[in-house]
Structure 1
Amino acid sequence: MTGSASARAGYAQLATADPAAWRATGTAWASLTRPTGQRADELVDSATTLRSGWSGPAAGSAGARLCDLRGELVMLVPAVIETDQILAEFAARLAAAQARLRAAVALADTAGVLIDRWGRARPDPSRVPADRAGPTVVPVAAAIHDALALATAADREAADRLGQLAADAGSGWVARPPPDRPVAGSDPALVSRWWAGLTPAQRRWLVGHEPESVAGLDGVPAAARDQANRLLLGLRREELRAEWGQLLGRVPRGPAELAGLRRVDAALAGLDALAARLDSPDPPRAYLLGLEVGGEGRTVVALGNPDRAAGVLTYVPGMTAGLDDATDELGRAARVLSRCADLAPGEETSAVLWLDYDAPDFLPEAARDGQARAAGDPLHRFQEGLRATHDGPAARQTVLGHSYGSLVVGTAARDHGLAADALVFLGSPGVGVAHATELNLPAGQVWASTAPDDVIRLTRPPEDLARQAVLGAAPVNTIAGLLAGPGDERWFGRDPTASTFGGRTFPSGRYGHTGYWHPDNPALDGMARVVLGQ
């Protein structure tokens, strides 16, 4: 990493660079957050001990200095997280540049072009006639230039960002912002303008001193939300542990307490798994954009920075999804990103797990649309926030819903509109509309797939169930009727894979209701191609 305005990445330099080493360096910086927080807590304990045995002006001065030191330590945590973000994003762009370079080398091999150690391309005289030299070499040289340009831009940007971070640390690191703050649910465009009007020092103050006001606010850039939510993660874990202690201390413990203990235990396990993924040096880097531990728990996690990617996928999971299995759902998003990388080497993409709604836990809940309707406005705001905070040209945004999540996506698009270039529905029980045009997107950008052996194919409208019940059908026959629907109708409108729905489809293999992300399932290719706009 040079940072010099005149320095340009060389062919050999790019070919031998190690993005993993830069990513590991960032992770090492991020690992300082825990000991830094522990030291800050120790200073609080020291100040408490001091006050109990010492009084007077000198004691007051000492206590004030301890408080100042603690404040400095607390504000160091966002800085080390930001360092990790910068180095991880540099590593990701370096890897993308290397992918482009490999594609250029493959093109050269196919076209009969030789590349020397300085990256200069020339025709292989044994394979390319003299009159074809120019047309053969030009595409290879252009591809090499494109790869080196991306690496050079990434190098300069990372060096500039790190240099600015170091310069800011010298003076004016934090400054209290004006008192007015946007509240949760504010228009993301207004939030974005408010954030842009703050100085870097004011933004750091908010992240360090009021992380709750930043963590879940759509319209705040992903990097700042990630810093704020990582600061809050430890506090949320302590809240769960405190709740565990309270439930454990109740004697006798009835069914409610036992259910509470099971819920807290599952949430703690999910939170620990999520923290492990956040701490992992494995690419792509995870950005924590939202976290709640109440109820079933909620979280929003991005793989790769969505503010910088050319293509962004928002994945909305379905029934039973919660904090306890968030990393499993995140793994599905990761598999789509991996397939995108296979299909378009060098393309920068990001995938977001959007689990910011109360997903149904049982079939009777899933047979109603109340939870989907409640999720519509939050999903709408989130997508608007992605549009507002994106750097450079607008990203191609795709929103994908699986199972009940497809109803969430369809309901949000129908009732509120979604800032999306494409919608994808997998294993859908219906998306709340009868035709693709009701989703406020061009019908050609509405996609769906249902596996031949997906049980969702057997569903039919709940009113048919009620009709059978009125007619006195036996309960077992009533349930069988619910799972034996003819035609194109599903629980929540027409099957989005039906020709009468008016959208487009891509195939799926026989992998059941949850197998769309299986590595051998052609549906995985379908998802990736929609994200890439292919």
Structure 2
Amino acid sequence: MVTYTQLWRADPAAWRAAGAAWSRLAEAVGRRAAELGAVAGRVTDGWRGAAGAAAGGHVRRLREPLDAARLAFVETDQVLSGFASGLARARGMLAAAVAAAGPAHVEIDRSGRTAPDVTVTGIDRVAALHAADRVGAGIAAALSAAAMADRTAAAALDRLAAAAAAGWPLAVPRSRPPFGTPPGVVRQWWAGLTEPERRWLLLFEPAYVGRLDGVPVWARDLANRSLLAGQRAGLVRERALAVKTAMPRHAAVSASHRLVGLMSGIDAVSARLSAETGERAYLLSLDPTGDGRVVLAVGDPDRADNVLTYVPGMTADLRAVRDDLGRVEALAARAAAVDQAQRTSVVLWLDYEAPSFLDEAMFAAKAESAGPALHRFAEGLRTTHEGPPAQQTVLGHSYGSLTVGTTARTFGLPANDLIFIGSPGVGTDEASTLGIPPSHVWSSTAANDPIAYLAPGWREPFNRAAALLTDPLSPDLRPRPSEDLWFGRNPTDPAFGGRVFTGEPFGHSGYWRADNDALTDIAQIALGPEHQSRVE
């Protein structure tokens, strides 16, 4: 059993750094494995015949143990980082118990036993004893959580050590469900695989495992991390080819600009994956084709108490992912600050083709096409979660709120709460049509967010702007938020039927600023009913 003193002195950041060190080792081993792959290719290309084929096969076989070790090193990072997260939660629980002891006139000794301070004048002895019981129960719960994290991490490391001692046995799986299979069916299939079969899939079919909803987060993360270097190298080769081909100069420049943007996005994702501070990131999907897509979680959704999925809007893509990663970090940090005792995972879900320009954002087609994927992803998070169900929240910003609303209304979203911020409308006029109680549908739009004045129709916004230019001082012409927006009734309008919270007037992109009360309200909604009563 973990003792009070051990937990009080524990340093989650040190364990997080230890995990990151294993991740760096995995990257180094991965580079060596890639070099062996290149050697095998050169052998095969330059040495024909049976002897050349045998030599190439031998070099390729040398790579397999390196790939297996790389996976094990990343999994070690997952285990140690998960332990760090569990320790941080237990320390938060302990800190809350200690903070409650002082006002209750309860003293705590270093062994974790509690005793009421009955010498203080005016304190009711019975009340003090009850307070001591509550503080003691809080300490016991914190120590129990720390002990559980310790046992879980030790068991996982033992399992990895046993696999290494056995030489990383592999076995070809007997079946593979196709993409689009319901996550519950996928989860049953994965659970029925042996560990050698799972390891074979992670080694030889990572692109398949990495995008399959219903596969546990840890496995998807392993698979997608193994693909990153190759995905970036492919973009480098594509750019070199674009420059060399005889395509018109403007086309070559455009292609080069797009590819450089995608490489920059992958670099931003890679930097977050290798960060030594903060919650560990998990890569659930990355697609470098087109404008690029990515799904990344800060904190493990499968083990979190709360999961907040953020769906961004217009202009969101892999090339511009730095801003969205910053928003995810801000949400995760605020949730941790509001309640240290709960683990909250924040997921960036950018697995749809968001509009790039206004001419695309004026129509609901891209939101509608995203529906099946968002529904399946949310179902997958429910299916793979370990332990009691997490508090699941889905947040849509700008056009992303239309994507969330359309999905909830058409396909359903397995969420406890929905949040719409800076919304142009969510595809319905009533919160009651979204598949969850209207009291769990939330919205906020800043007073100076221009999207609140986007009335329906083709001419109204332009008529309003022309009138303002004609007589900008007229109080009758000052813009007022529209009850009806481009894609339905304003979700902040009382007639919509949801709940509204307010923030500072920081415009369309200011909801994630540290000094905006809206950020705290979003965190409190994501933390569940106990905190939602504080939302204003």
TM over 0.5: same fold? yes
Aligned position for 2:474 = none
- Segment drifting more, 172-181 vs 11-20: 172-181
Q: 1:191-230, CA deviations, whole angstroms, 9 ceiling, x for partnerless residues? A: 1111111112211110111001101111111100000000
The reply to whether residue 341 of structure 1 matches residue 336 of structure 2 is yes
Q: Give the C-alpha shift of residue 189 in structure 1.
A: 1.0
In 2, the alpha carbon distance for the partners of 1:479 and 1:490 equals 22
* SS of alignment partner, residue 43 of structure 1: helix
Q: 1:3 matched to which residue of 2?
A: none
* Secondary structure in 2 matching 1:31: helix
Calculate the TM-score normalised by the size of structure 2. 0.92
The answer to whether the Cα contact below 8 Å between 1:436 and 1:501 also exists between their aligned partners in 2 is yes
Residue matched to 1:4: none
Change beyond 3 A, Cα 1:148–1:359 = same
Q: Residue type of the partner of 2:222?
A: Q
Q: Which residue of 114, 125, 128 maps to 1:121?
A: 114
Shift of 1:368: 0.8
* Deviation at residue 310 of structure 1 after TM alignment: 1.1
Match in the other structure for 2:280: 285
Amino acid at match of 1:371: K
Aligned to 1:5: none
Matched residue, 1:199: 194
Cα shift readout 1:317-364 (whole Å, capped 9, x = no counterpart): 011111122232122122122222222221011010000011111111
- 8 Å CA contact 1:398–1:531 kept in 2: the answer is yes
User: C-alpha deviations, 1:59-113, integer Å up to 9, x for none?
Assistant: 8776554332211111222111110000001001101111111111111111111
CA contact (8 A) 2:394 2:418 kept: yes
Aligned runs of 1:255-270 on 2, under 5 Å?
A: 255-270=250-265
Matching residue within 355, 362, 365 for 1:367: 362
How many Å separate the matches in 1 of 2:361 and 2:47?
62
What is the CA-CA distance between 1:434 and the residue it aligns to? 0.7
3-state DSSP of counterpart to 1:111: coil
Provide the aligned length of Structure 1 versus Structure 2: 520
2:306 matched to which residue of 1? 311
Say whether the 8 Å CA contact 2:106–2:116 is kept in structure 1: yes
Q: Which amino acid aligns with 2:399?
A: Y
Question: For residues 273 and 57 of structure 1, do their structure 2 counterparts lie closer, same or farther at Cα, with a shift above 3 Å needed?
Answer: closer
**Matched residue type, 1:140:** V
The verdict on how the C-alpha distance between 1:177 and 1:52 changes in structure 2, with shifts beyond 3 A counting, is closer
Q: Is the 8 A contact 1:183 1:213 kept in 2?
A: no
Deviation at 1:33, TM superposition (A): 2.2
* Preserved contact between residue 465 and residue 478 of structure 1 (Cα < 8 Å): no
Mean Cα deviation higher: 406-415 or 252-261: 252-261
CA distance in 2, matches of 1:76, 1:249: 38
**How many Å apart are 1:529 and its aligned residue?**
1.2
- The one-letter code matched in structure 1 to 2:357 is F
CA contact (8 A) 1:172 1:201 kept: no
SS in 2 for 1:295: coil
**Structure 2 spans left out of the alignment, 5+ residues:** 471-477, 532-536
- The Cα shift of 1:406 comes to 0.2
- 2:98 aligned with 1:105, yes or no? yes
Code of the residue aligned with 1:115 in structure 2: it is I
Cα 1:506/1:45, change in 2 over 3 Å: closer
Amino acid at match of 1:71: E
| Equivalent residue number for residue 13 of structure 1 | 6
Give the aligned residue type for 2:183. Answer: P
Preserved contact between residue 435 and residue 494 of structure 1 (Cα < 8 Å): yes
State the distance in 2 between where 1:242 and 1:54 align.
24
Secondary structure, in 3 states, of the residue corresponding to 2:70?
helix
Distance 1:385 1:252, change over 3 A: closer
SS at match of 1:368: coil
In 1, distance between residues paired with 2:221 and 2:40? 30
Query: SS at the partner of 1:182?
Result: coil
| Displacement after TM superposition at 1:157 (Å) | 0.6
Instruction: Name which of 498, 501, 504 aligns with 2:499.
Output: 504
Is this contact kept in 2: 1:177–1:198, CA < 8 A? no
Shift of 1:465: 5.5
1:72 aligns with 2:85: no
Deviation at 1:254, TM superposition (A): 2.9
AA aligned to 1:187 is P
Structure 2 counterpart of 1:384: 379
Q: Does 1:294 align with 2:289?
A: yes
Distance in 2 (CA, whole Å) between partners of 1:510 and 1:477 is 23
Please tell me whether residue 406 in structure 1 is matched to residue 401 in structure 2.
yes
Using the alignment, how far apart are the partners of 1:391 and 1:429 within structure 2? Answer: 36
Code of the aligned partner of 2:133:
V
Letter in 2 for 1:77: R
**Alignment-derived partner of residue 235 in structure 1:** 230
**Structure 1: unaligned runs, 5 residues or longer:** 1-7
| Cα separation, partners in 2 of 1:48 and 1:458, compared to 1, 3 Å | closer
Instruction: Say whether the 8 Å CA contact 1:86–1:161 is kept in structure 2.
Output: yes
Whether the 8 Å CA contact 1:270–1:324 is kept in 2: the answer is yes
